[in-house]
Amino acid sequence: MKNDLVRNNVAHRFDEQSKRWIYTYTVDILVPNGGSATANLNISNDADFDIEEITGRMMGPVDANGLFLPAHAVPNTDFPYPASSANASSGVMIKMTDQGDGIELQNDFVYAETILAPGYSPTRYQSTKWPYLLMKNSNLRIDCRNRDTVAGAYHLLSMTFKGYKYR
């Protein structure tokens, strides 16, 4: 009797997992200081993807390979070190658009650190719940702006989308 219950439970779980299983997509974006960059989260053609939450972190300043630059390497930068008076108050800002359905997920660019945990260093501890269904073969466009103004350096944005694949 007990064995039957376990067997049924296992069978049920396998059946469920064949239609819906946990999955994570990641996107890395290198955004030049004073500039912008765009990346696409491409949903594979095997299943729809239901985002549950978004996390991510930003690093800056980094070089063109995404390697962290110490303060002495970029003495004039104004982010995240206290230095010049240039406008770098926000670092990276992001805007997400579902290309598949043409739906904007934000009204405009938002400070990345208010959405992403750990953000910069960390500025947030809790992941952001962002329930959103992306269809297979679609893509989510992520536009980024970097308001750190010192030339020659970058900010690296690493985003993680946690959710479930549906078939």
Partner 1 sequence: MSKHKLHNAIYTFAYPIVEGSNGGVGVHGTATTVTLAVGQTATLNIYGRLDTFFKLRSVILRAWDSSNNTLIDMTNEDSLPLLSSITCKVYVDGKDGSKVLCDPIRATDLSPITSLSSSKRFNYLLPPRFNITLELTNTGSVGNRTLLVGGHLMGTALLRRKL
Contacts with partner 1, residue ranges (CB under 8 A): 48, 50, 78-85, 88-91, 93, 101, 103, 105-111, 113-115, 120-126, 128-133, 135, 166
Report the residue number, 39 or 88, with the smaller CB distance to partner 1.
88
What CA–CA distances, in Å, run from 52 to 59, 77, 86, 133? Answer: 24, 36, 37, 9
In angstroms, the CA 28 to CA 8 distance is 42
Report the residue number, 8 or 76, with the smaller CB distance to partner 1.
76
String of DSSP letters for 112-158: HHHHSSEETTTS--SPEEEEEEE-TT-EEEEEEEE----TT-EEEEE
Report the residue number, 84 or 158, with the smaller CB distance to partner 1.
84
**Minimum distance from CB of 167 to partner 1 (Å)?**
9
**Minimum distance from CB of 155 to partner 1 (Å)?**
12
**Minimum distance from CB of 114 to partner 1 (Å)?**
5
